[in-house]
């Protein structure tokens, strides 16, 4: 974390140019391309850091939006029972799918969808980070032939196993999201305690939820994310139309629940000083305004039977034009 003279708190990722200049430059280019999306952490710029001596490296400081709520991984590990509510799981999946839909539409693949790379703001908004493994798909075949990802979240077709060549498309991100959804439900990825998870991912059937208490919509959604045959796996756009996503409660409701949970987890305190005073004053003003509007409505109701039609119209116009903050 750092502090910017204009933006305040920011996240700073250090890229080692001397070690892998191509990878660092590729990440910056993808951030420039995708950070305008509401579900991708904003990219503010990059600052070159020259080596201080012959033994130190050239570095690039990549400045990003600071997400005060922490990572999804942190949320899972710090939640009692390490199991998130079904509506929260659906909400996070929807927000990540929206980001993936945009990435895939530009014929690119993220390749590292996992809970540590999904961030939460203090308002409960979801932001995707870490484009270090992001890759352009071949313009002719729509495939990627470079193995990459984090073992427990990787799709079977993306794993280089026993020397076989890999070739996969954007559906590998969908598998990783499905694994992340299981992680949100059960507190850990499948095979989390196994050293050689790649062998199990390739040779075993698709993972499923252990408990039968989840709704059929969740079960169906995961089945479509975790088809071992990529061609049978649904795309981001298709999954956004799944009932598990379309039947979620209002976004405002879910965010309010997550925000309240984050405040309790992090033991955040109300704002102090001038900003806090202004915030409290605004809340008080809203309450006073609401009470005044109700009082005015009661007065108008009492007087309504004694007024002419023209006066009634004037009263309604006064109510409609009463300032609301």
**Catalytic residue from among 74, 112, 138, 199:** 112
Alpha carbon 239 to chain centroid distance? Answer: 16
- Known catalytic residue: 237? no
SS (H, E, C) the chain: CEEECCCEEEEEEEEEHHHHHHHHHHHHHHHHHHCCCCCECCEEEEEEECCCCCCCCCEEEEEEECCCCEEHHHHHHCCHHHCCCHHHHHHHHHHHHHHHHHHHHCCEECCCCCHHHEEECCCCCEEECCCCCCEECCCCCCCECCCCCCHHHCCHHHCCCCCCCCCECCHHHHHHHHHHHHHHHHCCCCCCCCCCHHHHHHHCCCCCCCCCCCCHHHHHHHHHHCCCCHHHCCCHHHHCCCHHHHCCCCHHHHHHHHHHHHHHHHCCCCCCHHHHHHHHHHHHHHHHHHHHHHHHHHHHHHHHHHCCHHHHHHHHHHHHCCCCC
Q: CA 61, CA 137: separation in Å to the nearest integer? A: 27
User: Which residues are known to be catalytic?
Assistant: 112
């Amino acid at each position: 974390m750092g502090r910017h003279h204009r933006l305040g708190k920011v996240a700073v990722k250090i890229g080692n140019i001397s070690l892998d200049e191509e990878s660092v430059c590729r990440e910056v280019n993808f951030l420039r391309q995708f950070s305008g999306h509401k579900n991708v952490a904003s990219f503010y710029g990059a600052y070159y850091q020259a080596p201080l001596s012959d033994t130190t490296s050239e570095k690039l400081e990549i400045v990003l939006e600071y997400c005060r709520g922490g990572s999804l991984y942190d949320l899972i590990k710090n939640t009692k029972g390490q199991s998130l509510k079904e509506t929260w799981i659906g909400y996070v999946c929807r927000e990540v799918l929206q980001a993936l839909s945009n990435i895939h539409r530009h014929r690119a693949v993220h390749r590292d969808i996992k809970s540590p790379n999904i961030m939460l703001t203090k308002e409960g908004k979801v932001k995707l980070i870490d484009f270090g493994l992001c890759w352009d798909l071949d313009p002719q075949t729509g495939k990627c032939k470079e193995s990459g990802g984090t073992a427990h979240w990787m799709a079977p077709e993306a794993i280089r196993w026993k020397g076989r060549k890999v070739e996969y498309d954007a559906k590998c991100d969908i598998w990783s999201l499905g694994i992340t959804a299981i992680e949100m439900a059960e507190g850990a990825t499948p095979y989390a305690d196994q050293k050689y998870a790649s062998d199990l991912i390739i040779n075993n059937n698709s993972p499923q939820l252990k408990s039968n208490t989840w709704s059929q919509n969740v079960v169906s959604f995961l089945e479509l994310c975790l088809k071992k045959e990529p061609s049978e796996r649904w795309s981001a756009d298709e999954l956004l139309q799944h009932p598990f996503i379309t039947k979620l409660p209002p976004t405002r409701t879910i965010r309010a629940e997550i925000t309240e949970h984050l405040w309790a987890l992090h033991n955040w305190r109300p704002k102090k000083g001038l900003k806090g005073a202004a915030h409290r004053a605004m809340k008080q003003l809203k309450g006073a305004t609401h009470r005044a509007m109700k009082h005015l409505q009661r007065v108008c109701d009492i007087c309504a039977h004694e007024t002419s039609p023209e006066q009634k119209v004037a009263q309604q116009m006064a109510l409609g034009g009463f300032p609301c903050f």
